[in-house]
Amino acid sequence: MGPNTSVSSCYRYGDTSAGSSMTQNGITIREAQNIIKQIYFKRDKARGVNGTTLHLVEEVGELIRALRTGNRDKLSEEISDVLAWLLSVASLVEIDVEEAFISRYNFSCPKCHSSPCKCPKV
């Protein structure tokens, strides 16, 4: 992968060598969303928002089970799966997750506007 090549463009053209770069350099939320969209959008669109959201909820359940066991490998897998399904739902409803996140959190709590949060404990 050259210095002017993005991770997402490598995936777009099938260059699987980008995997090591993803680990070393990280990727943006937008790049992750684009990667998931490139891989799954046609299937997600055919399944629809409701069906895709049900898969997201199923993955959240699997994450809860993994939290109960404390198995770090399984936790890592399930957190990744939840993120991937969330990005799929966002793509279906045309939400740029990176933009939405920055707009909502902007380096502080969206309710009390402090960092760290000073809201009453829940």
Q: What percent of the chain has pLDDT over 70?
A: 80
3-state secondary structure 5-50: CCHHHHHHCCCCCHHHHHHHHCCCHHHHHHHHHHHHHHHHHHHHHH
Q: What is the CA radius of gyration of the chain?
A: 17
Mean pLDDT within 44-50: 98
CATH for 89: 1.10.287.1080
Task: Return mean pLDDT, the chain.
Answer: 86
Q: What is the pTM of this model?
A: 0.78
Domain membership of residue 75 as a residue range: 7-105
Per-residue pLDDT for 91 more than 90? Answer: yes
What is the model's pLDDT at position 7?
Answer: 35
Please tell me the total count of domains within the chain: 1
Is 118 contained in some domain?
A: no
